[in-house]
């Protein structure tokens, strides 16, 4: 399974959208500061995730959530 997820920084309330095969491990990596892009805004909480059996579909949905209309969609439904 592939997971598309949204995490929120407790520090400044910013959000991050990502994809992973191991959601628990990836959240730990974010909170340990291993992920360069999110290291300065620790700690994070998981806001939302969705599982996909296809990597291609997961990547497409992640790309959508990072687009203008995808951000609007996520704000309306997940934030």
What confidence score (pLDDT) does residue 58 get?
Answer: 98
The half-sphere exposure of 17 on its side-chain side, counting CA atoms within 13 A, is: 19
Q: Which of 71, 46, 55 is nearest to 20 (CA)?
A: 55
Mean pLDDT by 10 residues, the chain (79 residues): 97 96 98 96 97 98 97 91
CATH number of 2-77: 3.40.1440.10
User: What are the structural domain ranges in the chain?
Assistant: 2-77
Task: For 32-63, give the secondary structure using H, E and C.
Answer: HCCCHHHHHHCCEEEEEEEEECCHHHHHHHHH
Does residue 18 contact residue 62 with C-beta atoms inside 8 Å?
A: yes
Interatomic CA distance for residues 78 and 56, integer angstroms:
22
């Amino acid at each position: 399974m592939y997971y598309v997820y949204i995490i929120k920084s407790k520090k400044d309330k910013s959000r991050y959208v990502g994809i992973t095969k191991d959601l628990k491990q990836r959240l730990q990596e974010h909170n340990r500061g291993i992920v360069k892009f999110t290291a300065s805004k620790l700690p994070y909480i998981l806001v939302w995730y969705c599982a996909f059996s296809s990597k291609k579909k997961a990547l497409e949905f992640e790309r959508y959530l990072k687009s203008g209309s995808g951000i609007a969609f996520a704000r309306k439904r997940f934030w």
